[in-house]
């Protein structure tokens, strides 16, 4: 029964066929923003700059640098402008920042940001709790932000939260995810990152969501979509695998598994970049990212933050390196 179930979830594994999708996978590193914003210890600006500069030398093409939000709500991002203007911008690397409203956009533009991310939720309750407005009102808000950003030549990526479940409403309807995604695409987002915010999704859930949002895609496939999987229930990598099987080729991750789920005490949050890289490389997919460098950065930043490294691959490879060095 188990193997029958797996064949249903991953049909191409049961019946190999010519590869239909690209062998290249783009990783969006979200550690400096989504990873750090939930850390209680306020890091020095210089450490954040060093983190981004180190990541810029690994082959990553997209690194989410910071968030232009009020320090009242997210103190960790209080130095957003200093961080963004202080990093060394590597050629060919994008450094998007998160903005919640027009005020945040204006501050980002003043810092010469060239790409932003806007966000919405597929849950009415989460939208009200998180940004104090309904889904419909949030759509109106981000439309205005997107319009002004595009007028300034700033690219826009969209985030949809709670694609699998909500801490207040329970399971999320895939049709609601598709509705918010469609609104973001129509407003001008070049890509939509689908976030399993509380990490309750399983491959079946993710597949249902991806099939639903595919109908909103301008390209007729999933090339405008990314997956942002949290590891709260240990399902992040199997959900990534489900996305790969359907053609998703962009995934968000956080070095060292930085971050956490604020709705589950003690739970891990973002899928570690090290673990994601290892999976992709062992599956024969290309990323252009140096796993060894990422592992070293994960060890370093975990110590700087004062927490245990959440990456299984990072811990394993670091331990092996120490053992070999002592041999």
Which has the minimum average pLDDT: 50-59, 97-106, 127-136, 250-259?
Answer: 127-136
What average pLDDT does range 165-174 have in this prediction?
94
Per-residue model confidence (pLDDT) at position 52:
98
189 annotated active-site: no
Per-residue model confidence (pLDDT) at position 12:
44
16 has a pLDDT exceeding 60: no
292 has a pLDDT exceeding 60: yes
Per-residue model confidence (pLDDT) at position 321:
87
The whole-model pTM stands at 0.92
Higher pLDDT, 323 or 225: 225
pLDDT tens-digit series, residues 176-201: 999 999 999 999 999 999 999 999 99
What average pLDDT does range 274-292 have in this prediction?
98
Helix (H/G/I), strand (E/B), else coil: 121: strand
CATH class of 26-325: alpha beta
Who's near 201: CB < 8 A, 6+ residues apart?
163, 164, 165, 209, 229, 235, 239
Per-residue model confidence (pLDDT) at position 217:
83
Our measurement of the distance from residue 98's CA atom to the centroid of its chain's CA atoms, rounded to an integer in Å, reads 12
Q: Are 7 and 14 in contact (CB under 8 A)?
A: yes
Per-residue model confidence (pLDDT) at position 260:
75
pLDDT tens-digit series, residues 227-273: 999 999 999 999 999 999 999 999 999 999 998 766 656 667 899 99
Which has the minimum average pLDDT: 47-61, 78-92, 169-183, 256-270?
Answer: 256-270
Q: How far apart are the first and last CA of the chain?
A: 45
* Mean pLDDT across the chain: 91
Rounded to whole angstroms, what are the CA distances from 142 to 31, 62, 133? 23, 22, 12
């Amino acid at each position: 029964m188990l193997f029958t179930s797996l064949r249903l979830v991953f049909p191409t594994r049961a019946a190999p066929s010519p590869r239909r999708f690209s062998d290249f996978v783009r990783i969006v590193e979200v550690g400096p923003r989504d990873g750090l914003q939930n850390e209680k210890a306020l890091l020095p600006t210089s450490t954040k700059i060093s983190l981004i500069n180190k990541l810029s030398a690994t082959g990553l093409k997209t690194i989410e640098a910071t968030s232009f939000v009020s320090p009242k709500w997210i103190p960790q991002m209080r130095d957003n402008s200093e961080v963004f203007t202080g990093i060394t911008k590597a050629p060919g690397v994008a450094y998007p920042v998160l903005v919640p409203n027009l005020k945040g956009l204006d501050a980002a533009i003043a810092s010469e940001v060239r790409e932003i991310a806007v966000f919405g939720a597929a849950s009415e309750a989460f939208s009200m709790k998180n940004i104090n407005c309904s889904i419909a009102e949030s759509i109106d808000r981000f439309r205005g932000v997107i319009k002004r950003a595009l007028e300034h030549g700033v690219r826009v990526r969209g985030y949809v939260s709670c694609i699998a479940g909500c801490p207040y409403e329970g399971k999320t309807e895939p049709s609601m995810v598709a509705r918010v995604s469609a609104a973001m695409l129509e407003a001008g987002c070049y890509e939509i990152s689908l976030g399993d915010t509380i990490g309750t999704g399983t491959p079946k859930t993710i597949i249902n969501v991806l099939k639903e949002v595919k109908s909103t895609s301008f390209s007729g496939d999933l090339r405008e979509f990314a997956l942002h999987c949290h590891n709260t229930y240990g399902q992040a990598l199997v959900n990534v695998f489900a996305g790969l099987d359907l053609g998703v080729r962009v995934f968000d991750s956080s070095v060292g598994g930085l971050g956490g789920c604020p709705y589950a005490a003690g739970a891990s949050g973002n899928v570690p970049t090290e673990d994601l890289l290892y999976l992709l490389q062992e599956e024969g997919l290309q990323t252009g990212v140096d796993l060894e460098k990422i592992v070293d950065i994960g060890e370093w930043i975990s110590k700087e933050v004062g927490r245990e490294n959440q990456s299984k691959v990072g811990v394993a490879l670091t331990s092996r390196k120490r053992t070999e060095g002592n041999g």
